[in-house]
Structure 1
Amino acid sequence: MTKQILVLGSVNADHVLKVEAFPRPGETVTGSRYDVIPGGKGANQAVASARLGGNTHFFACVGQDAFGREIVDKFAEDGINTSLVEQVEGVNTGVALIFVDGCAENCIGIAAEANAALTPERVREQKAGIAGSDYLLMQLETPEASILEAAKLARSSGVTVVLNPAPARPLSDELLARVDMITPNQTEAELLTGVAVHDPESACQAASVLHEKGISMVVITMGRMGALISDQRGARIVPGFEISATDTTAAGDTFNGALLVKLAEGADIDSAARFANAAAGISVTRRGAQTSIPERDETEQFLAEYIRHYPEVQQILIER
């Protein structure tokens, strides 16, 4: 059986407004479209993992509101094991307010709500579920103390700890020392290392700082440039895809879910990153978070067709 992926993270109701340009302080803008879409970085990554073929379990808290009840059913429809998703009494499901501009960029404000109920105590109660996994994938929309507790439990059981350090914020060396693989984007990498990441060379410098903090595998996502992989073999770029973007909301989450699926299937990190780039590439051509995440067959078809027309995408550029 494929190795088990446990995603620990957030669930949000994403309120998405399409605007021509982001409002400035004190300004009111008129949107062209409004949607309420299932989101939350943890949920997005769990959905991506499941849709792309992963043996996916999800550990999260939602409210006992209508959205919370409906989203658990949707997770199950996507093939996610929801036995560790708890509906918490007296709170709402997490909320994200998202503006998407005419260039497909987004700005987001979130309220944790039920996500804050994923406490270290709740994590300890699910020690067996964590220990029974092969990979633990986490993000930063749940309490950091809980993320650290889960990392400790996973490490003590030989589970590979993967951290997507988003949304960007400083993290303790205590937490970073318990991470096996980290997957920041350029902004997150700069915040964690102090190195401004704008090209492969600076990405290598940032990766070196993260290695010094005890992380053996660093994957820095760099948009159309692709992903920088840095491990014991050295550093290299897995090229991205030239795609016209519509909405980048869940691109990073799709990348992370896809990456874990291929690793769980036994693929090497470079092949896994190429597959993840393809899945994320598809996602940016669609609106919303979970509504943009592709299925396995279409991702494989997209990757095969793209490579047939642009074989250079298979090249791995070694940075020395």
Structure 2
Amino acid sequence: MTRVIHTGQALVDVVIEVPDLPERGQNVMATSVTDYAGGAVTVLVAAARSGARCVHAGAHGTGPHGDLVRQALAAEGVELSAPPISGHDTGICVVLIEPSAERTFVTTLGAEREITSESLATSAPEPGDLVCVTGFSLALEQTGKPLLAWLRTLDAGVVVVLDPGSAFAGLSPHVRTEMLALTDVWSSNLEEAADILGTPEADDLAAVTAAVAPLLRGDAITIVRDGAAGCAVLVDGEAVLVPGFPQTPLDTNGAGDTHTGALLAEVAAGTPWVEGCRRANAAAAIKVTRRGPATAPTAAEVDAFLAEQA
């Protein structure tokens, strides 16, 4: 079976709901705080709940945060290919959620950054496997250098999926160029795609999606999301708009990762890209109505949701 393998950081999201962000130097009283396994966990949980066989190839620590990550992945049947980092715990991401569901992040560095080309290789990708890379792994030499070195060794049949994140556009031109030359699938939001193109005011989803493709290798697939509006996907040179399913959001943290995970699970199962995007749009729409990052729906829940929309 085709696998979804994630190389990125599995963190613990400390999610704090606030009535508003405080002014600089000021204080605000939170209405709730909860610890969730997040980061790469969100993608892998979404993929696993949509039926994919999943592997986390990244690093994880041996303290309570690492324990939480392992428990969350084990609960979904996600494999861990590399052993824990002894004596060092996984880092956290503080997530401030406003009533509008907008979120603000502060991320620490922990054991999840202690990867090597050898530790990534424990996932042993085979042709057809989908290997996920996040731009945040490339933001530090500590993780970017071994990751790029390992990616260069992969069989040409392994599909490399890049989620650039907000970090990618700010990387050195050399790192960006090398990563793009290794990328078979691009999956980002509209702002991230516009940033890499140098057109921050871009609002034509199909045009932006098509413009990203020439930056990648071969006949790359490009997916660009635009929140509740849905996404566009470029397949065989044609950009197709796939409408979303607007919801009243409760928590948007993890919506993009849920979309990516659900989409890759569909593709791994042989679903065409456009139909996979429709189902991923539905999965993300369900997720934003739930608190917590790794709260993706199951395939059956997506089926029921789409039946209601018909």
User: TM-score, normalized by length of structure 2?
Assistant: 0.90
RMSD: 1.9
2:278 & 2:146 partners in 1: Cα distance? 31
Equivalence for 1:134: 129
The one-letter amino acid paired with 1:152 is R
- Asked if 2 retains the 8 angstrom alpha-carbon contact of 1:136 and 1:162, the reply is yes
- Asked if 2 retains the 8 angstrom alpha-carbon contact of 1:151 and 1:179, the reply is no
CA deviation string 1:284-319 (max 9, x = no partner): 0011111x211221111111211x2xxxxxxxxxxx
1:256 & 1:270 partners in 2: Cα distance? 13
The one-letter amino acid paired with 2:45 is V
The one-letter amino acid paired with 2:217 is G
- Asked if 1 retains the 8 angstrom alpha-carbon contact of 2:37 and 2:68, the reply is no
- Tell me, what secondary structure is at the counterpart of 1:162? strand
Q: 1:78 aligns with which of 53, 76, 83?
A: 76
Equivalence for 1:304: 307
Distance 1:138 1:220, change over 3 A: same
Equivalence for 1:178: 182
1:277 & 1:213 partners in 2: Cα distance? 24
1:206 & 1:132 partners in 2: Cα distance? 26
Equivalence for 2:241: 237
- Asked if 2 retains the 8 angstrom alpha-carbon contact of 1:219 and 1:229, the reply is yes
- Tell me, what secondary structure is at the counterpart of 2:245? coil
Equivalence for 2:140: none
Unaligned ranges ≥5, structure 2? 138-142
User: Which residues of 2 match residues 1-320 of structure 1 at below 5 A?
Assistant: 2-40=1-39, 42-82=40-80, 84-123=81-120, 125-126=121-122, 129-131=124-126, 134-142=129-137, 143-154=143-154, 156-170=155-169, 171=171, 172-196=176-200, 198-200=202-204, 203-205=206-208, 207-214=210-217, 216-290=220-294, 292-306=295-309, 308=310
2:92 & 2:68 partners in 1: Cα distance? 15
Post-superposition offset of 1:16: 0.9
1:197 & 1:253 partners in 2: Cα distance? 24
Count of residue pairs brought into register by the alignment: 299
- Asked if 2 retains the 8 angstrom alpha-carbon contact of 1:10 and 1:94, the reply is no
2:127 & 2:108 partners in 1: Cα distance? 31
Q: Which moved more, 1:272-281 or 1:89-98?
A: 89-98
- Asked if 1 retains the 8 angstrom alpha-carbon contact of 2:193 and 2:208, the reply is no
1:134 & 1:24 partners in 2: Cα distance? 46
Post-superposition offset of 1:51: 1.3
The one-letter amino acid paired with 2:299 is R
- Tell me, what secondary structure is at the counterpart of 1:141? helix
1:117 & 1:92 partners in 2: Cα distance? 11
2:167 & 2:194 partners in 1: Cα distance? 9
2:3 & 2:98 partners in 1: Cα distance? 37
Post-superposition offset of 1:66: 2.1
- Tell me, what secondary structure is at the counterpart of 2:168? coil
Distance 1:197 1:297, change over 3 A: farther
Identical columns (%): 28
- Asked if 2 retains the 8 angstrom alpha-carbon contact of 1:195 and 1:206, the reply is no
1:224 & 1:110 partners in 2: Cα distance? 26
- Tell me, what secondary structure is at the counterpart of 1:109? strand
Post-superposition offset of 1:266: 0.8
1:244 & 1:91 partners in 2: Cα distance? 40
Post-superposition offset of 1:168: 3.1
Equivalence for 1:317: none
Equivalence for 1:316: none
2:286 & 2:247 partners in 1: Cα distance? 8
